[in-house]
Amino acid sequence: MSPSSKPPPMRPGSIDVSLAATFVGLIAFGVVMVYSASAVYANRMYGDGMHFLVRQTIFASVALLVLAVSSRIDLSLLRRLTYPILLIAVVLMVAVALGLGRSAGGATRWIRIGSLNVQPAELAKLAMVLWLVHSLTKKAHRVRTFSIGFLPHVLVMALLMLLCLAQPDFGSAVMIALLTFVVLFAAGAKAGYLLGGVLVALPIGYAAIASSPYRMRRIQAFLEPFKHRQGAGYQITESLMSFGSGGWAGVGLGDGRQKLLFLPEAHTDFVSAIVGEELGFLGVTALCLAFAWLVFRGLRAAWRSPDEYASYLAAGMTLFIGLQAFTNLAVAMGLLPTKGLALPFVSYGGSSLLVNAAAAGLILNVSRFAVEPAEVAVKSVKRKRVKPRMRTAEGGAR
């Protein structure tokens, strides 16, 4: 289906400004909240209350750079980088699984590169989605088949999940599975396969949980947090109390008390609890609306993009951010069992921040090539063949 003539490159439109503002706003908000949540802890641990603030500020600066680059990157170039990125992710994951990483809290989730601690699982999630988007675009209508459209993706997914579980990082494993299924669904995989996959996954998931006493305890703690307040339910009850302490408008930025070593990981996975305590229900609502807006605008970019790869990419990246965000919030509020999952842009951590910034940049990138819905609608009514008069990612590869 190669076009008869190479179309002149389409002049990219302007990026989605409100979406870009949302990303930048969330990153800035994250820096503030990380400082508020970590100052006491940092002072105790490092004798320097600004320990995490300084680092998060540096990460944020780099993240803005990554965001800018990825929002302008040539998508065909990105597509060519799909396999190298996946390979790097797998290699790092294997390295961690082999015990070359750094341990913290009973799990080995980091690997040292130079002077940086990298969390390969974050990269693996992004690499998985990037690869899915590439692969599904390439396979086009064969997506609905089992052997080509379904099985290979599930196998790669299974590989990455196993590597996650080896760390162990149950949260990332589940997130990879969730992202895979959602993107498969978006790309048109047969619903029956997906459902079957879920049905197969359930007993495996149960086995994974039941085989590990600590996961089992977490499930029990999730079901009855206050009954296990002194044990596995400690973190979640502290988190719930943080939210509860906030009330309508919160106790005020910086005045939270749960971060006084009561709430573990207040500046990382449970930063939303501190948001809830210090900024109250209004703050949490604003945060939710920001992510909801992000999802809406991201999917809108996917919707409006005339290019299949770009569409899938925007959708995948939006789901990548949105799913993690709402899962994190749901976990912090006790709607889902506890697992290590960062709140995109807000939680402390360079790997998560940079990966999410890259994803955000790619959404913005796609948003530049929007076709007005009216135009598309008119075209489809007139049954005109749409000749994408743009430099498509696909075209670049031919």
Partner 1 sequence: MKGRSNRRHRWFRARIAILGVGLLCVAALVLVRAFQLQVVGGDRLREMAEGQHLRLLRVSPRRGAIYDRHGAELAVSVDVDSVYANPRRLRAMDQDPARTARRLAAVLDVDAKQLASRLATDRYFVWIARRVTPHEATRIAELDIPGIGLTTEARRYYPNRHLAAHLLGFADIDGRGIEGIELAFENELRGSDRRVEAIRDRRGQVVFADETIDDLSKEGQNVVLTIDKAIQHIAERELALGVRTFEARGGSVVVMDPSTGEILALANYPPFNPNEPSKHPTAHRRNRAVVDRFEPGSTVKPFTMAAALTAGAVRPDQSINCENGVTRIGGRRLHDAHPYEWLTPTQILAYSSNIGTAKIALELGKRDLYRSFRRFGFGDSTRLGVPGEAAGILRHYRSWYEIDVAAVSFGQGMSVTNVQLATAMSAIANGGRLMRPTLVRRITDARGATLEETKPQVRRQVVPRRVAKLVGEMLTAVTEPGGTAMEAAVDGYLVAGKTGTAQKADYIHGGYAKDKWLASFIGFAPADKPSVAISVVIDEPIIAHYGGTVAGPVFRRIAEVTLRHMGVAPDRGRAVLAEMKEKPEAEPAAKAAPTGAIEDGQSSVPDVRRLPLRRAVLTLHAESLVPEVSGSGLVVRQDPLPGSVVSHGATVRLQLDRRSLDQKATVSPKGSPSLAAAVPRRPHEP
- Cβ neighbourhood burial of 243 (10 Å; 0-12, 13-18, 19+): buried
Minimum CB distance to partner 1, residue 94 (Å): 32
Identify the CA nearest to 269 among candidates 314, 327, 208. Answer: 327
- Kindly report the backbone phi and psi dihedral angles of residue 287, in degrees, each rounded to the nearest multiple of 5, phi listed first: -65, -45
Count CB-CB contacts under 10 A for residue 221.
23
Cβ-contact 284, 245 below 8 angstroms: no
- Write the Ramachandran bin of 338: left for phi over 0, alpha for psi from -120 to 50, otherwise beta: beta
Beta-carbon contacts of 33 under 8 Å, excluding residues fewer than 6 positions away, are 267, 271, 274, 275, 346
Asked if omega into 120 is within 30° of 0 (cis), the reply is no
Work out whether 233 is an interface residue with partner 1 (CB under 8 A). no
Dihedral sign from CA coordinates of 347, 351, 357, 363: negative
Complex with partner 1: residue 92 or 363, whichever CB lies closer: 363
List binders of partner 1 among 27-46 (CB under 8 A).
Answer: 40
| Contact region with partner 1 (CB under 8 A), list: 123-131, 159-167, 204-212, 283-291 | 283-291
Complex with partner 1: residue 217 or 296, whichever CB lies closer: 296
Complex with partner 1: residue 100 or 195, whichever CB lies closer: 195
Work out whether 195 is an interface residue with partner 1 (CB under 8 A). no
Minimum CB distance to partner 1, residue 277 (Å): 8
Minimum CB distance to partner 1, residue 312 (Å): 8
Work out whether 262 is an interface residue with partner 1 (CB under 8 A). yes
Q: Which of 10, 165, 333, 395 binds partner 1 (CB under 8 A)?
A: 333
Work out whether 187 is an interface residue with partner 1 (CB under 8 A). yes
Q: How many whole angstroms separate alpha carbon 336 and alpha carbon 332?
A: 8
Q: Which of 65, 91, 200, 292 binds partner 1 (CB under 8 A)?
A: 292
Site map 48..77 versus partner 1, x via CB under 8 A: ------------------------------
Identify the CA nearest to 166 among candidates 119, 219, 99. Answer: 99
Complex with partner 1: residue 223 or 260, whichever CB lies closer: 260
Between CA 155 and CA 130, with CA 183 as vertex, the angle to 5 degrees is 75
Work out whether 178 is an interface residue with partner 1 (CB under 8 A). no
Count of all residues that appear for the chain in the document: 398
Residues that bind partner 1 (CB under 8 A): 1, 40, 140-141, 182, 185-188, 237, 240-248, 257-258, 260-262, 276, 280-281, 284-285, 288-289, 291-292, 295-296, 299, 302-303, 308, 311-312, 315, 319, 322-323, 326, 329-330, 333-335, 380, 385-386
